[in-house]
Structure 1
Amino acid sequence: MCVALVVSPLSMAAPLEIVGRATVVDGDTLAVNQRRVRLWGMDAPESAQHCSTAQGARWPCGRRAANALDAHLQDKTVRCVQRDVDRYGRSVGECFVQNESVNAWMVRSGWAVAYREYATRYVEDEQRAKAQKRNIWQGAFQMPADYRRAQRAAHARPTQAESAPATACRIKGNISSGGAKIFHQPGQRDYAQTRIDFEDGERYFCSPEEARAAGWRAAKR
């Protein structure tokens, strides 16, 4: 399989182009010719991230976003135009398949959001996907950047063991296997055995009002 790094000889200032068959790393990162390319201006759910359907059921949106990207690129030549290099050494750019922007396609298809912190080019694509309730927009989800910040905060703690936090925030927000968000208060029957998994989006709350505002309902017992 022939792949190449192509730099235009016409100008030393011309952007680097990376051309070849792509391997999908996740919903917003490709590997082309042994180079990592972060798709510019868009942000897809993280691989372990879950979203909710309109009925509240959880589904693995991060994994499915990557699968959708993989299916879209299968057996096609990808041309990526580098715009920058990020702190991880990855090229950051816009990629094309048959002159169609892969970045725009991901956002327009509802598999990613416009990454407004860095660009606004795909905002209209996002608005269209949101209006049509496509994929991640069919229900509730956490913005990928917010999800990453939450994960970093969780992993920065000394431990993610079940011990209650050293604050007044002792209400446990648990998510059932069916996607139901239920909070348990100290003294309730299932409080002690309820475990909190931060990576699945579960959390502690400081009051019942805070839990309800976030979309959780009270446990019946």
Structure 2
Amino acid sequence: MTGYRRDRRRWARPSLTQRSRWRWFWDLALMVIFFALVALLAAKLNMRPPAELLAGKAYVIDGDTISIAGNHVRLKGIDAPELAQDCGDGAAQTACGKISRQALIKIVGGREVRCEASGRDKYNRSVAICYVGETNLNRAMVEAGQAVAYGDYHDTQAEAARAHKGLWASRFETPQDWRREHEAMPAETETIRSPSIADQVYAWLDRLLGGLW
């Protein structure tokens, strides 16, 4: 029995150094996996849906909304006076909502407009940055003082205010404040109005011919 016990193999317990090494490799592997998952999550959060491209003749609804082939587009980063909005006081009062719309009509000049939409607003309008040639319509409206910055173009607005352009030539309520005071106005009437029959016919022909004419 004594010889058997002496010759019997015993399980060799790993040394403290071996266990520490394996624990270090395991911790390192977990750290690598953790940071890889964080990187994948960050990449997924930064992924944006592809921009929706719209192009064609535009019907100007108001100073920050247009219609292209029946698609209502809200100019991103700006806010223009509502059509029913007046600005100034007394004899200096102006129909700034209608003036803003006319300013956008003039900038567009009947030319083709192309828009890069990045989502939709609560009225299901495409929210986009739009161009005529190389002119950014969103920036041009703020630059002319016919719209205020609404998330973007604050530097441009500051320049327009210093030069007393458009709205900045007199006292005015911001479109947001004006809407808040006129909450009884139906939301759809506030921003979405139907194009004329001629514009609807044009939009139908544009879709029919694929925008090639």
Q: TM-score range by the shorter chain?
A: 0.5 to 0.7
Pick which of 36-45 and 73-82 moved more: 73-82
The equivalent residue for 1:159 is none
Are 2:142 and 1:111 equivalent residues in the alignment? no
Q: Which amino acid aligns with 1:32?
A: I
Overall identity of the aligned pairs, in %: 36
Q: Which runs of 5+ in 1 are unaligned?
A: 1-11, 157-221
Q: 1:90 aligns with which of 97, 100, 125?
A: 125
**Inter-partner Cα distance in structure 1 for 2:60 and 2:185:** 26
**CA distance, structure 1, for counterparts of residue 65 and residue 162 of structure 2:** 26
Distance 1:155 1:63 in 2: 17
Superposed displacement of residue 99, structure 1: 2.0
Choose 1 or 2 for highest CA Rg. Answer: 2
Aligned residue type for 2:170:
G
Checking the alignment, whether the CA contact within 8 Å between 1:56 and 1:139 is kept in structure 2 is no
> Root-mean-square deviation (CA), in Å?
1.9
| AA matched with 2:75 | L
Query: For 1:79, which of 97, 111, 114 is the aligned residue?
Result: 114
Q: Pick one of 136, 144, 152 that aligns with 2:175.
A: 144
Residue aligning to 1:16:
52
What residue is the counterpart of 1:99 in the other structure? 134
Letter in 1 for 2:137: V
2:98 to 59, 63, 87: 63
Mapped contact 1:84–1:92 kept (Cα < 8 A): yes
Please report how far the alpha carbon of residue 75 of structure 1 lies from its aligned counterpart in structure 2 after TM superposition.
2.1
Q: Which residue of 1 aligns with 2:86?
A: 50
Structure 1 ranges of 4+ moved more than 2 A: none
Shift of 1:74: 2.0
C-alpha distance 75-155 of structure 1, shift in aligned 2 (>3 A): closer
**1:39 corresponds to 2:70:** no
Structure with a larger share of its residues in strand? 1
1:72 is displaced (CA, Å) by 1.2
**Counterpart AA for 2:123:** Y
In 2, Cα distance between the equivalents of 1:13 and 1:49? 35
Task: Describe the superposition over 1:105-135 as per-residue Cα deviations: whole angstroms up to 9, x where unpaired.
Answer: 00010000001xxx2x300110010000001
Question: Which is richer in helix?
Answer: 2
Q: How many residues matched? A: 139
TM normalised by structure 1 equals: 0.60
Structure 2 unaligned blocks of 5 or more = 1-47, 187-213
1:34-60 Cα shifts (integer Å, max 9, x gaps):
10000100000010111117x861010
Bigger relative contact order (CA 8 A; separation at least 6): 2
Q: Which residue of 1 aligns with 2:158?
A: 127
Q: Which residue identity lines up with residue 95 of structure 2 in the other structure? A: P
